[in-house]
């Protein structure tokens, strides 16, 4: 899972395997969560989101699981491909401060996924 | 659609210099944001805008100014560059505000800034 510090967690898998990337979030009041993929030298790319009233959501080859009891989020990638190699990070949304309606997103540092052919 | 574009891709500044990072989007999105990304830290929000003429501060606004004169453009100005502003800067846009739960922000490719 993600952690504070300069060294990101890493996950290495073989092509075709399933990957599970974990994220522990901090705010029990967060009501919306997003997973992003960031390839080297590029901006983050939205993968999938989930609201706090759900515990599972599926996309194409990806599934996000939410466990609010332990404040844990996971991203499962089925049949991982070399093109999936990237940094994956989660974000949690809480209400903005000072009465603003603009929610505050808090981003994790990420996990490096490497897929070997 | 070009999506979100940022210029320049790389920039080196000396301490005290000022510059503007450009951001443009062609998706007619109302909501635009600037983030910085530093090693060991997640993305942090600098400033954001909920429409032309409306901007507000994010988590780390000090040393930066923004304006939003058109829907398409959202430039970020560094007033007097400092080494602590060495970072990768990302601009993002979305069609819905985060508090409605539609968080699909589209990010630009980033500007890598070094301040010496």
Reported as a pLDDT band with limits 50, 70 and 90, residue A103 is low
User: For residue A8, what are its two tokens?
Assistant: 């990101």
**CA separation for the pair A87, B98 (Å, rounded):** 23
Q: Report, in angstroms and rounded to the nearest whole number, the Rg of chain B calculated over CA atoms.
A: 13
Single out the residue of A97, A96, A87, A108 nearest to residue A34, CA to CA: A108
DSSP A96: P
Q: How many CA atoms lie within 13 A of B22 on its CB side?
A: 8
**Distance (Å) of CA B39 to CA A5, A24, A101, B32, B95:** 8, 19, 29, 23, 29
| pLDDT computed for residue A96 by the predictor | 56
Mean pLDDT of A10-19: 96
Mean pLDDT of A82-102: 78
The overall average pLDDT reported for chain B is: 92
Mean pLDDT of A58-69: 96
Q: Is the pLDDT of residue B72 over 70?
A: yes
Q: Chain B within 8 Å of A110 (Cβ-Cβ)?
A: yes
| pLDDT computed for residue A8 by the predictor | 84
Reported as a pLDDT band with limits 50, 70 and 90, residue B2 is confident
**Probe site for chain A from B5, B21, B36, B42 (most A CB atoms < 10 A):** B42
Report the DSSP beta bridge partners of residue A45: A37
Residues of chain B in contact with residue A6, where contact means CB-CB under 8 angstroms, are 39-40
Reported as a pLDDT band with limits 50, 70 and 90, residue A2 is very low
Reported as a pLDDT band with limits 50, 70 and 90, residue B86 is very high
Which residue is closest to B106 within chain A, CA to CA? A45
Residue B103 phi, psi (nearest 5): -95, 20
**CA separation for the pair B94, A17 (Å, rounded):** 33
- The SS3 assignment for A70 reads coil
Reported as a pLDDT band with limits 50, 70 and 90, residue B108 is very high
Which residue is closest to B32 within chain A, CA to CA? A102
The pLDDT tens digits for B4-35 are: 999 999 999 999 999 999 999 999 999 999 99
DSSP A103: P
């Amino acid at each position: 899972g993600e952690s504070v510090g300069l060294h990101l967690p890493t996950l290495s898998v073989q092509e075709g395997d399933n990957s599970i990337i974990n994220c522990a979030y901090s705010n029990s009041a967060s009501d919306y969560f997003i997973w992003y993929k960031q390839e080297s030298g590029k901006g983050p790319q939205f993968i999938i989101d989930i609201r706090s009233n759900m515990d599972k959501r599926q996309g194409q080859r990806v599934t996000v699981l939410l466990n609010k009891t332990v404040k844990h989020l996971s991203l499962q990638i089925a049949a991982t491909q070399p093109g999936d190699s990237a940094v994956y990070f989660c974000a949690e949304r809480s209400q903005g401060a000072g009465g603003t309606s603009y929610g505050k997103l808090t981003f994790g540092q990420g996990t490096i996924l490497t897929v070997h052919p | 659609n070009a999506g979100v574009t940022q210029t320049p891709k790389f920039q080196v500044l000396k301490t005290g210099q000022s510059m503007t990072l450009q951001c443009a989007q062609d998706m007619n999105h109302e909501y635009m944001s600037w983030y910085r990304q530093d090693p060991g830290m997640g993305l942090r929000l600098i400033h954001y805008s909920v429409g032309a003429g409306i901007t507000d501060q994010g988590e780390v606004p000090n040393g930066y100014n923004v304006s939003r004169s058109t829907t398409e453009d959202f430039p970020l100005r560094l007033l007097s560059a400092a080494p602590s502003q060495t970072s990768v800067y990302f601009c993002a846009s979305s069609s819905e505000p985060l508090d409605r739960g539609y968080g699909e922000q589209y990010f630009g490719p980033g500007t890598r800034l070094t301040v010496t």
